[in-house]
Structure 1
Amino acid sequence: MTKLALGTHPYLLGFEQLERLVERTAKTGNEGYPPYNIEQTSEHSYRITLAVAGFTSSDLSITVEDNTLMIRGRQVDDSEGRMFLHRGIAARQFQRSFVLADGVDVGEAIMENGLLHVDLTRQVPEKVIQTIEIKKG
């Protein structure tokens, strides 16, 4: 028996892009830093929260391109001339990406107490019922 790919299943017409989306999501290269939460704040809204202690808002950038929310952080290394006996707080850059469904809009971003909150809203499409006329051939 031949195994069908998701995008080629006969009942899923027009979903070829879904398989590419899953592959793209798997390749985002997200590592475990910085840690984050995703919460549903209402029936149609979400909040992504990243723990970005030590970063200022000018160290962070948030962009959306091709339905991908990209959050990047880059700190300036100010350790020159300082001697650390222990350095457990890393000043490293990061890139965290999230693939957004069609109709998900990025709202505001808020920085408070070392946490970056990014609010998302899912637009609910209107229900459309279309009647197709059957013509005689």
Structure 2
Amino acid sequence: MSRFTSFNGQFPLGFEDIEALLEQVSARSASNGYPPYNIERVPARKGQEERLRIVLAVAGFSADDLDVTVEQSRLTISGRQSEATRRDYLHRGIASRQFQRSFMLADGMEVSGAALDNGLLTVTLTKPEETTAVRRIKIDAPRTAT
């Protein structure tokens, strides 16, 4: 059964993908804020293009507890700590709950790597420079009889 949307603030037919994207963005902005993160712009240097870095504070997580995936244009970072040994905490201020953060990537953005150092997970994004290629297209024309 198809869905009909009118022009009363919703998107008309054929724009369901954009509507779903906006719903995902609004749901993400309403999330609980864990774990905190920064997004940094790293200027271009000799031999390297401009990059973006997403840095998440993931204290207490090991590399095995974290998962970084890219599907289509969505970068998803998730974490789940395994409680291998039971501990008797007198005070527990470091969160150990599972999390999932998603980021929509612009066209052409690529994840070039991820690193975990001192409780910070850094995911590096690059956008390779587009190369302009000119292609000559052969024009087919009917042959005339001579």
TM-score (normalizing by structure 1):
0.72
Rounded Cα–Cα distance in structure 1 between residues aligned with 2:66 and 2:128: 27
Rounded Cα–Cα distance in structure 2 between residues aligned with 1:99 and 1:36: 15
Q: CA RMSD in A?
A: 2.9
**Any unmatched runs of 5+ in structure 1?**
9-13, 130-137
User: 2:79: which partner in 1?
Assistant: 73
**Residue of structure 1 aligned with 2:68, choices 62, 66, 73:** 62
User: 1:38: which partner in 2?
Assistant: 39
User: 1:51: which partner in 2?
Assistant: 57
User: 2:105: which partner in 1?
Assistant: 100
The question of whether the paired residues in 1 share the 8 Å contact of 2:59 and 2:94 is answered with: no
Which is worse superposed, 16-25 or 38-47?
16-25
- Return the index of the structure with the highest Cα Rg: 2
**Deviation of the 1:87 alpha carbon:** 1.6
**Residue of structure 1 aligned with 2:127, choices 108, 122, 129:** 122
Rounded Cα–Cα distance in structure 1 between residues aligned with 2:100 and 2:66: 10
**Any unmatched runs of 5+ in structure 2?**
1-6, 45-49, 135-146
Higher strand share: 1
The change in CA–CA distance for 1:30 and 1:67 in structure 2 (over 3 A counts) is farther
1:24 aligns with 2:24: yes
**Deviation of the 1:39 alpha carbon:** 0.5
**Deviation of the 1:26 alpha carbon:** 1.9
Q: Which amino acid aligns with 1:34?
A: P
TM-score (normalizing by structure 2):
0.68
**Deviation of the 1:53 alpha carbon:** 0.8
